[in-house]
Amino acid sequence: MNQSAPAVVVFGSLHYDIIVRGPARPRKGETIAGQSWQPKCGGKGGNQAVAVVEAGARCVMVGAVAADDFGRTLLQNLDDQGVDRRFVRVISGGSSGMSVAIFDGEGDYGAVIVSGSNLMLSERDVAAAQDAFAAAAVLVLQNEVPDAANVAAAQAAKRAGARVILNAAPGRIPSPALAAAVDIIVVNAIEAELLAGVPVVESLQGALAAARILSRSYPAAIVTAGGEGVACVTASGEEIAIAAIKVKLVSTHGAGDAFIGMLAASLAGDDLLAVALDKANRAAAELVSRPLPGAAIAG
């Protein structure tokens, strides 16, 4: 990794994840017997920061954890993965963010997040990390922290000449101030439906149609369509549609974050958008075809 190269700054969430595996996801009021569980360090911000490093780029993480066991584990993981976490604030009181994800037998999942310390991110954290923003080539944002904090980070990145990527997940309509500072918005079919205001079919053509609508509001709009592929439309009229790489699905957990991490790293390395999209598509395919790291604990 070239330590003198411009960095990717990831401003966002850190969660301690608990992964549960079962034959299916429970319906309302239903209890089912699971097969195993395991802990994992995550949060969309944390996952994307690690993915940036795995893609060969420098990454600075700006986030917040509590002074608890989960927070200490999350910080150690960033250290172990080579992420610069000097600007991750440790907050006294409260609790670190966490989530529970339940996987079914087909590798799909549903999750509940408890944001905790992530909701404490603010302009204060942007100011504390001003040196990181000044050296950034790309800023990555998600919707697991307050919109106002994202606005402050995006505006700091724009002043420094960095490109701003917003992964608008979980689905939330960006404020006008945030939308105005975003260069590339990345959403899945569900999030695209919320932002575009029309039903979106999870197909390559459906993703392309949604991206066309979103490109009216953003310089570039990327819509991922799961196992169908990814589509991108720019405000200048460029359209890119890439079919998914067919692999044996093991787990979809973190696929979107792998996509974002590679996209950001590639753009920070001055790749063209089409090249970065192709690399990101391949990174997501590689991730879904391998088991989650760490040993599962059988029930």
Residues forming beta bridges with residue 16, ordered by sequence position: 41, 98
Percentages (nearest 5) of helix, strand, coil residues in the chain: 35, 30, 35
Is 257 a residue of the active site? yes
CA atoms in the 13 A half-sphere facing the CB of 135 = 11
CA diameter of the chain: 54
Structural contact between residues 140 and 11, judged by C-beta atoms closer than 8 angstroms:
yes
Tell me the backbone φ, ψ of residue 179, rounded to 5 degrees: -55, -35
Overall size of the chain counted in residues: 299
H or E element in which residue 82 lies: none
β-bridge mates for residue 139, sequence order: 9, 164
**Nearest-angstrom CA–CA distance, 179 and 172:** 12
Give the strand pairing for 184-188 and 163-167: parallel
Cα torsion for 117, 120, 126, 128, to the nearest 10°?
-70
DSSP 152-170: HHHHHHHHTT-EEEEE--S
Distance, C-alpha 166 to centroid of its chain: 9
CB 21 within 8 A of CB 37: yes
Q: Identify the active-site residue in 17, 68, 257, 278.
A: 257
How are beta strands 220-224 and 184-188 bridged, if at all? parallel
Active site residues: 257
